[in-house]
Every structure is written in structure tokens, then in C-alpha cells.
Amino acid sequence: AQRVTQPEKLLSVFKGAPVELKCNYSYSGSPELFWYVQYSRQRLQLLLRHISRESIKGFTADLNKGETSFHLKKPFAQEEDSAMYYCALSLSSGSARQLTFGSGTQLTVLP
């Protein structure tokens, strides 16, 4: 069965510092990886999808199949980045594809 691990429940960095939120997964096939973000009192929103290879709000994430990781990075954190971040995985086959979530990392960017 697939599994997503986010080892840090809480992460604090100062404004302007680099930030990396870790995500590791276990799945024997080729999954699709996502990062979702939940700002205070708002809904879960898609931040990144690994196949898009985009940079959103300065965040990037690279899928490393050798290390089974999909860490989220930003070179210069901003206070508005403070939020809950969830890494999620879906299987690449099947039409209605369930998401398996990690437990989330609460990022706080300090002034």
C-alpha cells in the first residue's frame, strides 16, 4: 500500500531564509505527487503537481525516484507562506484516483 511521510509536524524559519519541507513516499509503482497548502481558515489548495514542473509562489519540488522524495523548497520564505502544507500521492493509473496524504507540516515564517 502507498504511504506518504512528512517527518516534521512543525517548522519555523525567519523571513528571507530558505525553507525545505520534506516528503518521502513509498509505493512500488509510478505515483503522481502533489503539494497542497491550507492557509488559516481556508480550504486545501493545490500548490504544485510534479508532472507540471512549475514554480508557484516561488516554491519548487522535484521528484527524486531514487530517494522516493518530493521535498518542497523556497529560497526566500515570506510571512504569507505561513500555512499547513500537505504532501499527497495518487496512483498514476485509474480514472478516479484517490489521494494519500501525509500528516502535514505547519510552516511558520517569523518576521
Partner 1 sequence: EPEVTQTPSHQVTQMGQEVILRCVPISNHLYFYWYRQILGQKVEFLVSFYNNEISEKSEIFDDQFSVERPDGSNFTLKIRSTKLEDSAMYFCASSKYNQPQHFGDGTRLSIL
Binding stretches for partner 1 (CB under 8 A):
34, 36, 42-46, 49, 86, 94-104
For partner 1, the closer CB: 55 or 98: 98
For partner 1, the closer CB: 71 or 100: 100
CB of 44 to partner 1, least distance (A): 4
For partner 1, the closer CB: 29 or 94: 94
For partner 1, the closer CB: 20 or 32: 32
CB of 57 to partner 1, least distance (A): 16
Residue 71: which of 111, 11, 16, 1 has the closest Cα? 11
CB of 49 to partner 1, least distance (A): 6
Q: Tell me the C-alpha distance between 107 and 85, whole Å.
A: 7
CB of 96 to partner 1, least distance (A): 4
